[in-house]
Amino acid sequence: MAWKRAAVFAALLFFGAARPSAAQDVTLTSPDGAVEITGMLLGFDGEFYRVDTQYGELTVDGSGVLCEGPGCPSLVDFVAELAFSGSSAMAEVLLPSLIEGFALRNGLQTRRTAMQNARFAYALHRPDTEAKVAHFDFHVTNTDEGFADLLANEADVVMALREIRKPEQTRAYEAAMGDMTDARRSRVLALDAIVPIVSPGNPVREIATPDLARVFAGEIDNWQDLGGPDAPIELHLPHAGSGLSQAVEDKLLTPAKLVVAATAQRHPRSSAVSRAVTTDPFAIGMTSFAETGNARALRLTGDCGFSLEASRRTIKTEDYPLTAPMFLYLPARRLPKIAREFLLYTRSPAAQIVIRRAGFVDQSPERIGINAQGDRLANAIASAGEEVSLAELQTLIETVGSMTRLSTSFRFETGSTRPDAQSRANILQLAREIETGLYDAKRLLFVGFSDGEGPADGNRRIALKRAEAVRGAVLQAAELPEVLQVEIGVEAFGEALPMACDDSAWGRQVNRRVEVWMR
């Protein structure tokens, strides 16, 4: 029978649904009784049942079956459920702000309920009938615990301050959650950065990145070695399981082949790091840009004289090297309609305003005029020599002098031509903007730059290939009309416009980039 074949096919789809509070026995039966599926109900999204059966986890279209048993949900008063777990920095401010914004935009009201064991919940309901339409549950932990909850089927969405690690990725794939590095499984919600902070009374204003790594490894333990007073350095970091702390290890210590000193004091929240450092004139901590508080952030410097400071613009462009995107990870499950609408909202221009007002760095593109880039041009002139001539710098200015740089930039994973996580999000964002006609009748120029390692001609060729690859990825991601309304070109200037010193791995990675210029 055609219906029977369709029902069996639907049952074999391995898409998930929203997780119920407790799995219970159900029996799903076709109207003619020809097909019967019995098992534990794992979820129902208002349209599809997700059932754990003797054949494995199956998903069945609810419109073609009758549900019997204590676990059967109400089809009339269905309430969508979505469970978040992970980063406290995201759970405490960012996600609640976005839920409030989403509710306001859709004419819904919210009710927040505090619970025990680091949990709270948001109920979304209609103001006219008080009918609850969604329940968002939050488990405020850290990135490690977020992935653990996901793998235990106790969360639908992970809030993470780092990328998923290989063991987690493997276990998720084995649990039929899909490839968690796929664009559909992970997304950058907002942008943040790791910043070194000191007490406002500390005389030290800047620190070389290699020295910063040695400080947190315990190799430099006196402020006198950094131009400060003769006093021991007290180290402060978030909890070892937090995404921010792990990002410090991945981005700062691991490239220098160092590990965190055992003497570092750990805190359950990165905001607690800021409070501890603020009151201790001999302390240094690593916290997020959004949670600097009353502490003072140090500039990052290099032996060549370049310095970089964390700001909304330098984080958005990734010119600041210790950027830390804030991720949402979702398994290959079918979520309720209102949950899908919320996740779609988080990428909207309205949501970017909410993100910015909440104190985080949004992903809306900004335009940076040539006059606002004096430091970059000064660095380029200071670095000019045999490899990069003054004539080449003049060509660069002639090319982009009448254009505006977009804050949308692209950088690459260490030792790879693959764009990093923030850049992969930028590819999708720029593709959507081209689709909507935001750049119609304009010219976009993808400009490649490199580090200074190796011959200048070879670096220029590599930079051009990267620019072409990024342009190709953007066009491939976009659904474009037959006649493109925007002119898109590529150019490369190799090592002509350095952002940081080439004497360290992080500096070279910052210099390897593709920028977007517009006229």
pTM over 0.85: no
CATH T-level fold of 365-518: 60s Ribosomal Protein L30; Chain: A; (3.30.1330)
CA distance 210 to 416: 22
CA distance 80 to 136: 8
Token match 């910052």: residue?
510
What is 194-316's CATH number?
3.40.190.10
Q: Which residues pair with 109 in a beta bridge?
A: 125
CATH class of the region 2-68 = mainly beta
Q: Which residues contact 171 (CB under 8 A, 6 or more apart)?
A: 151
CB contact at 8 A, 231 and 192: no
Name the 3-class secondary structure at 472.
helix
CB contact at 8 A, 321 and 272: no
Q: Do domains 2-68 and 194-316 have the same CATH topology?
A: no
CA distance 244 to 247: 5
What is 80-191+327-357's CATH number?
3.40.190.10
In 3D space, the residue among 268, 263, 274 whose CA is nearest the CA of residue 241 turns out to be: 268
Domain ranges of the chain: 2-68, 80-191+327-357, 194-316, 365-518
The pair of three-digit structure tokens given for residue 450, joined into one six-digit string: 């490199």
Local confidence pLDDT in tens for the 519 residues of the chain: 444 344 433 333 333 333 444 457 899 998 888 889 999 888 787 778 888 888 888 888 887 889 998 888 877 778 889 999 999 889 989 999 999 999 999 999 999 999 988 999 999 998 887 788 999 999 999 999 999 999 998 999 999 999 899 999 999 999 989 999 887 898 999 999 999 999 999 999 999 988 999 999 999 999 999 999 999 999 999 998 888 999 999 889 998 899 999 999 999 888 899 999 999 999 999 999 988 999 999 999 876 767 888 999 889 988 888 888 999 999 988 888 899 999 999 999 999 999 999 989 999 888 988 777 766 777 677 667 677 777 888 888 888 888 999 999 998 877 677 888 888 889 988 998 998 888 999 999 999 998 888 888 888 999 999 999 999 999 998 887 766 788 999 999 988 888 877 777 777 888 899 999 999
